[in-house]
Amino acid sequence: MEFQETVMRYVAHKPQEVDWGFEKDTEKGRIKETPTMTPRRKWKLMYLFNRFSSSPPRNPKSKEPPNEFLCPISGSLMAEPVIVTSGHTLENACVLACKALSFTPTFEEDSSTPDFSTVIPNLALKTAILNWCKFHCVDPPKPIDPINAKNLVRALMEIENKNPDTQIVISEKNLVQGAVESPTVNRNDPELTHSCSSSVDSVETAESTPSLQLVIHPSYNNNNNSSSSSSSDTLNPGFNEEEEELLAKLKSPQVFEIERAVISLRQITRSTESSRVRLCTPRLLLALRPLIMSRYSTIQVNTVAALVNLSLEDINKVKIVRSGMVPLLIDVLKGGFPEAQEHASGVLFSLALDDDNKTAIGVLGALEPLMHLLRSENERTRHDSVIALYHLSLVKSNRVRLVKLGSVPILLGMVKPGHMTGRIMLVLGNFAWCPDGRAAMLDAGAVECLVKFLGGTQLNSESTKESCLSVLYGLSHGGLRFRVLAKAVEMEEVLSKMVKEGSKCVREKAMTILEMMTMTSKDYEEEEMEEEVVDWEDMLELSHTQS
């Protein structure tokens, strides 16, 4: 429904006089309507004016950067952000310093520990940071010198080493102060007064009272159960007896004990919400990691199925990604047992519902194996995979990756025989509303494919027809090229038939596309030049007058 409502918001109706609440009687306070003003342009002008007039005057330089733009180790804007295996985003120099010094911090709020085994540049976030700096008149961040990065990490290690037997909680001020005491650290960086974690919402400045709390522990070794258990005990001093019993069985050298443990965990987490929240702990997730790629089918299948249950709770979704499960789940998609692949696609579908996970899942490489599973013999695997792709493709960076992977022709090929058509249309709808995806769809013959689908003899539900028309409406913003392709496949006849025989929503969408097709070349040129026509200085002056 949200997608459909968004589409209808862009429908071009005939111009009509509307009593807008923000309009004043004065001539200056009224947006003048010209004979050449299209409905969409008028809507944009109203939207822009309303945004400027309703927003209070602001000082761009006083704007605090979003938490996602700050490195949790350096506390400054990231110049070279990278995503690590656990899904955390950090400054590249800080990651290299941590790896060089064999040090891994643990964030107290969600007890997550970054996994540095895989490091992938986050180009989308880097672009977003640069755009934010430009908009707010802030100098773009510069990469941290490797020596300074190591000094930051050594400062953390030194504080931890002074209190080896107690849980260290340090504030961001202490962290920065420890780094400043090192002679080679750049003390002129104003961004060091800010700190945040990708899993912590609080931000501390020099004047604020709440502090960003970190618990610093040495890096764990997956092959050393005793050290992992010791570190985890410190992180979760209040673990319950049920968790302890499961952990003992999961770490047993006997295969049948491990099988009993994962089956029990799957059954417990299937029933109640409280059990899923209670058992999704760093210690338990750490114990499950090596079992995901077990050579025993019972262990692998039930382990991944238990993760499906744990991922159902919103509070657990980020925890699971932060625990480094995504690369292992991707390995299951590529070469796991068939039933485990079904559950793995379900886990990724569930994790992708959280906006904080979408980019990380795409960057870590889940898109290509999910595309391959659309051809799986298992119906549930196919359905979970396509829904996971739908949620992941809501993010621009993932749409670009999918286009480069050649997903558009594959998805269109699955529309022709009516294969999971409704779900496929949802993914294509995301592509149709972005320039890169729209161009790829037009190149792949999407117009002909969709028109044949609408005019075919196969029985399709009204909702599927609506989704198909929504995709066509998105493609209709491709300008004259779309109109040429539409005429070549006689789309007007098909749409005219749907206007007469379809449901109310189908008729409205078909009529809207027909209106788009009747636009002249001059109308298209005006649509493309709308952003240049807007007089921004006049708009700003008008907003100040109204305030």
Tokens coding 327: 């690369």
The answer to whether residues 414 and 286 belong to one domain is: no
Q: With beta carbons less than 8 A apart as the criterion, state whether 512 and 11 touch.
A: yes
Q: Decide if 340 is inside a domain.
A: yes
Q: What is the chain's percent helix, strand, coil content, to nearest 5?
A: 60, 5, 35
The answer to whether residues 332 and 452 belong to one domain is: no
Q: Please report, for the domain that includes residue 104, its CATH number.
A: 3.30.40.10
The answer to whether residues 142 and 190 belong to one domain is: yes
Report the half-sphere exposure of 529 (CA within 13 A, side-chain side).
9
Q: Is 42 exposed, middle or buried (0-12, 13-18, 19+ CB in 10 A)?
A: middle
Residue whose pair of structure tokens reads 């002074």 in the numeric block: 162
- By DSSP bridging, strand 103-107 and strand 214-218 are antiparallel
Task: Of 57-71, 195-209, 326-340, 456-470, give the range with the top mean pLDDT.
Answer: 326-340
Q: Report the number of distinct structural domains present in the chain.
A: 3
What integer is the mean pLDDT of 332-344?
96
pLDDT in tens, 389-440: 999 999 999 999 999 999 999 999 998 666 788 899 999 999 998 999 999 9
d(CA 54, CA 50): 6
* Helical pair 396-404 and 355-363, crossing angle rounded to 10 deg: 30
The answer to whether residues 158 and 271 belong to one domain is: no
Q: Decide if 28 is inside a domain.
A: no
The answer to whether residues 199 and 225 belong to one domain is: no
- What is the domain extent for residue 284? 221-395
Q: Decide if 401 is inside a domain.
A: no
**Between these two residues, 400 and 479, which has the higher pLDDT value?**
400
The answer to whether residues 349 and 286 belong to one domain is: yes
pLDDT in tens, 359-381: 999 999 999 999 999 999 999 99
Of 144-153, 251-260, 454-463, where does mean pLDDT reach its minimum? 454-463
Tokens coding 381: 């695997």
d(CA 303, CA 326): 14
pLDDT of residue 117: 82
**Between these two residues, 186 and 538, which has the higher pLDDT value?**
538
**Nearest Cα residue to 483 out of 528, 525, 527, 517:** 517
The answer to whether residues 477 and 374 belong to one domain is: no
* Residues 6+ away with beta carbon under 8 Å from 510: 469, 495, 496, 498, 499, 502
Give percent of the chain with pLDDT exceeding 70.
Answer: 66
pLDDT of residue 537: 46
Q: Decide if 27 is inside a domain.
A: no
Q: Decide if 301 is inside a domain.
A: yes
pLDDT in tens, 32-46: 445 445 545 544 445
Q: Is 29 exposed, middle or buried (0-12, 13-18, 19+ CB in 10 A)?
A: middle
Across 346-368, b (16+ Cβ under 10 Å) vs e yields bbbbbbbebeebbbbbbbbbbbb
Give me the residues paired with residue 218 across strands. Answer: 103
Phi, psi for residue 112 in degrees, rounded to 5: -85, 145
d(CA 230, CA 253): 19
What integer is the mean pLDDT of 376-389?
94
pLDDT in tens, 4-25: 444 444 443 444 443 434 343 4
The answer to whether residues 317 and 174 belong to one domain is: no
Q: Please report, for the domain that includes residue 319, its CATH number.
A: 1.25.10.10
Phi, psi for residue 62 in degrees, rounded to 5: -90, -5
End-to-end distance of the chain based on CA atoms, in angstroms?
Answer: 36
Q: Decide if 29 is inside a domain.
A: no
Last residue of a domain, one of 365, 395, 425: 395
pLDDT of residue 344: 97
The answer to whether residues 426 and 437 belong to one domain is: yes
Q: Considering the entire predicted model, what is its pTM?
A: 0.64
The answer to whether residues 530 and 474 belong to one domain is: yes
d(CA 432, CA 294): 41
AA identity, residue 5? E
The answer to whether residues 540 and 517 belong to one domain is: yes
Last residue of a domain, one of 155, 189, 218: 218
What is the CB neighbour count within 10 angstroms for residue 284? 21
Q: Decide if 227 is inside a domain.
A: yes
Last residue of a domain, one of 364, 395, 426: 395
Give me the residues paired with residue 82 across strands. Answer: 90, 121
Q: Decide if 110 is inside a domain.
A: yes
pLDDT of residue 70: 87
The answer to whether residues 328 and 262 belong to one domain is: yes
CA 543 to chain centre: 34
CA separation, residue 226 to residues 111, 112, 154 (Å): 18, 19, 25
pLDDT of residue 264: 95
